[in-house]
Chains A and B, each alone.
Chain A
């Protein structure tokens, strides 16, 4: 379970407050969606939770299954079970995708006091999971995300998620830059990972991704706060009327 209490965040370099008291609880096994207009703070929330530099937490806390995330290094948060699927996955020339996946899987296992996965076992698992996401051997061999299309990059994010088996997955605008077919493939990958022990926080500007990944709870974020929470119908309301009506109602 992820609990965020009264989270206030400003940019480190300038005096700009982005999050102004976010309160949010994602119960284990549930899929929550955060929707909101551009600039509402959705992506900042995902970066702050994953430990990216450049932000200063001025108040509040984020607790994942009893562990306080905000004091931890990014790698410690990952080992604690947090995973962020990036809006813009990073290209890393010179580092093979396989090497990257294996280093990550084994680093997390080591951090949790588990044995490293053998080469043979790793290969077997990665091939199986890659196949389900239509990721071929060639893509696994290439440097991380280098020369990947938008859809390939997002599928690669989901493959990492599948390999790392996190407890809490944050999907930051995973639908951006995807056509309908690519989105469906990514959504299928996410849905295959839904389980009782795993939670999701799906950040999106549009409702369309939520047609494929059905949320249990939908939050609307505006001006650095969660301003409205409801069921899946809230997403449809946004789709039909835009954000203006909801914002006029709550602000």
Chain B
């Protein structure tokens, strides 16, 4: 079986040319490629790709994606005081970027870090990804590690002065961008990472985040509104004791999005939340795939995923909580819900719990339904026009996911984007 799979992607993988780089990175790329080759590229026959067809993600070239004009919508996080780094079709744009020094963190680019010997980067690149390959293989993450042309390399020792904001622009209709970020939060450090934009016609990112004891990592992302873009993201996180990890993603439009989060809670008393709000109308396939491993005591994990689907859009959720032996007093919560605005849309969910400790609290729920007609009538009977009433109920549905964003100004930015989408789609 594994043999047959490997054969499927073998030709493509054999033809892969690794980007030139310094010694340690060249070695890491080679190792990543070897992992990808061993696993083979995914097909729909793989359990983890049953609901999402990876064909356009594994193809040698990116399918074309028309460019998109966002109209008068302000750029994401425009009102937030941040340090911006711009990548256009995966290529760093120095002229459009801020001086990274202003973030108050050690920050360089992967393309430069590969030339120098940065030991902590060497100890992270591909390492968390490799850990995350078991028990579920993620060959496309390994392939990213082999192919990534750039990315950011960040080390934080205290509280970052400003959020680091990665802006991904899409400029060429057939661009195929692969970025790989590595982030190390030293004990007690605190960083907010913002990501925004479509990135390319086909865009792959892997982010490896090492959150040491007592550190806090906040991640807020909005994935560009280009209708035809394809996006594949992986976050691999390793979380120490008394640490915090919070990630939120807003997705509006995009023909294909797969967001994977793989995290391990390795120290006691930590908190990890992953949330997402997705809205799609028509050609929209959105997949959240999450795997959280509790390997320490008294940790809390929370997954909140909400999708609004319309006009034949498809939503997928695969979420797993694994509680290892000895991970007592684990508090695991998982909810995935979809709001289907018509009969053409569908939501496919596979929530899983696997528990080997006997003193834990874990719950999961998954629902799929239409707008509550009773609530709609109640609002209309008070004079609220039907469209506005629907928009209010959609916002209410997504509110639980957006509440996961701690920073009120950032949450407000996300809400504004959501309201804009609703006004365009339902107004």
CA distance A78 to B372 in the complex (A): 20
- With known contacts A90-B374, A94-B397, A107–B383 Cβ distance under 8 A: yes
Count of residues in B whose CB is under 8 Å from the partner chain: 24
Q: In this complex, what residue of A is CB-closest to B402?
A: A94
Contact B379 A92 (CB under 8 A): yes
Contact B393 A95 (CB under 8 A): yes
CA distance A89 to B382 in the complex (A): 12
CA distance A52 to B375 in the complex (A): 11
B348-387 contact mask (Cβ, 8 Å, vs A): 1 or 0: 0000000000000000000000001111011111111110
Q: Does B259 belong to the interface (CB within 8 Å)?
A: no
Contact A74 B377 (CB under 8 A): yes
Q: Does A108 belong to the interface (CB within 8 Å)?
A: yes
Contact A94 B399 (CB under 8 A): yes
Contact B378 A78 (CB under 8 A): no
Contact A92 B380 (CB under 8 A): no
- With known contacts A94-B399, A95-B396, A104–B373 Cβ distance under 8 A: no
Q: Does A75 belong to the interface (CB within 8 Å)?
A: yes
Contact A94 B384 (CB under 8 A): no
Query: Nearest Cβ in chain B — how far from A224, in angstroms?
Result: 22
Q: In this complex, what residue of B is CB-closest to A166?
A: B383
Contact of B393 among A52, A91, A92, A111 (CB under 8 A): A92
A125-139 contact mask (Cβ, 8 Å, vs B): 1 or 0: 000000000000000
Q: Does A51 belong to the interface (CB within 8 Å)?
A: yes
Q: Does B64 belong to the interface (CB within 8 Å)?
A: no
User: Which residues in B have their C-beta under 8 angstroms from that of A53?
Assistant: 373, 377
Contact A75 B374 (CB under 8 A): no
Contact A84 B383 (CB under 8 A): no
Q: Does B174 belong to the interface (CB within 8 Å)?
A: no
- With known contacts A53-B373, A86-B378, A107-B388, A92–B383 Cβ distance under 8 A: no
User: Which residues in A have their C-beta under 8 angstroms from that of B381?
Assistant: 50-52, 74-75, 77-78, 83-84, 86
Q: Does A237 belong to the interface (CB within 8 Å)?
A: no
A98-123 contact mask (Cβ, 8 Å, vs B): 1 or 0: 01100110011001000000000000
Q: Does A174 belong to the interface (CB within 8 Å)?
A: no
Contact of A90 among B375, B392, B396, B400 (CB under 8 A): B375
CA distance A95 to B392 in the complex (A): 7
CA distance A66 to B227 in the complex (A): 49
Contact A75 B397 (CB under 8 A): no
User: Which residues in B have their C-beta under 8 angstroms from that of A111?
Assistant: 383, 385
- With known contacts A94-B397, A103-B392, A78–B383 Cβ distance under 8 A: yes
Q: Does A73 belong to the interface (CB within 8 Å)?
A: yes
A206-217 contact mask (Cβ, 8 Å, vs B): 1 or 0: 000000000000
Q: Does A39 belong to the interface (CB within 8 Å)?
A: no
CA distance A19 to B374 in the complex (A): 22
Q: Does B173 belong to the interface (CB within 8 Å)?
A: no
Q: Does A79 belong to the interface (CB within 8 Å)?
A: yes
CA distance A75 to B397 in the complex (A): 22
User: Which residues in B have their C-beta under 8 angstroms from that of A77?
Assistant: 381
Contact B384 A75 (CB under 8 A): yes
Q: Does A87 belong to the interface (CB within 8 Å)?
A: no
CA distance A51 to B396 in the complex (A): 24
CA distance A166 to B379 in the complex (A): 15
CA distance A247 to B63 in the complex (A): 76
CA distance A132 to B331 in the complex (A): 43
- With known contacts A74-B377, A103-B388, A93–B396 Cβ distance under 8 A: yes
Q: In this complex, what residue of B is CB-closest to A99?
A: B392
B174-186 contact mask (Cβ, 8 Å, vs A): 1 or 0: 0000000000000
Contact B393 A160 (CB under 8 A): no
Contact B382 A160 (CB under 8 A): yes
CA distance A84 to B392 in the complex (A): 21
Contact B384 A104 (CB under 8 A): yes
Query: Nearest Cβ in chain A — how far from B24, in angstroms?
Result: 49
CA distance A108 to B388 in the complex (A): 12
CA distance A223 to B329 in the complex (A): 60
CA distance A90 to B396 in the complex (A): 14
Query: Nearest Cβ in chain B — how far from A23, in angstroms?
Result: 24
Name which of A79, A94, A95, A164 has the most chain B CB atoms within 10 A of its CB.
A94
CA distance A51 to B380 in the complex (A): 9
CA distance A96 to B40 in the complex (A): 50
Query: Nearest Cβ in chain B — how far from A71, in angstroms?
Result: 15
User: Which residues in A have their C-beta under 8 angstroms from that of B396?
Assistant: 92-95, 143
Name which of B374, B385, B400 has the most chain A CB atoms within 10 A of its CB.
B385
Query: Nearest Cβ in chain A — how far from B391, in angstroms?
Result: 10
Query: Nearest Cβ in chain B — how far from A218, in angstroms?
Result: 26
Contact A107 B385 (CB under 8 A): yes
A interface, CB within 8 angstroms of B: 50-53, 73-75, 77-79, 83-84, 86, 89-95, 99-100, 103-104, 107-108, 111, 143, 160, 164
Could you jot down 24 A-B contacts, CB within 8 Å? A73-B380, A73-B386, A75-B381, A75-B383, A75-B386, A78-B381, A83-B381, A84-B381, A86-B378, A92-B375, A92-B396, A94-B395, A94-B399, A99-B392, A100-B379, A100-B382, A100-B392, A103-B384, A104-B384, A107-B382, A111-B385, A143-B396, A160-B382, A164-B382
**7 A-B pairs with least C-beta separation:** A94-B396, A78-B383, A108-B383, A104-B382, A74-B380, A90-B378, A94-B399
Given contacts A51-B380, A78-B382, A92-B393, 13 further A-B contacts (CB under 8 A): A73-B386, A74-B380, A75-B384, A75-B389, A78-B381, A83-B381, A90-B377, A94-B396, A95-B393, A100-B392, A104-B384, A111-B383, A143-B396
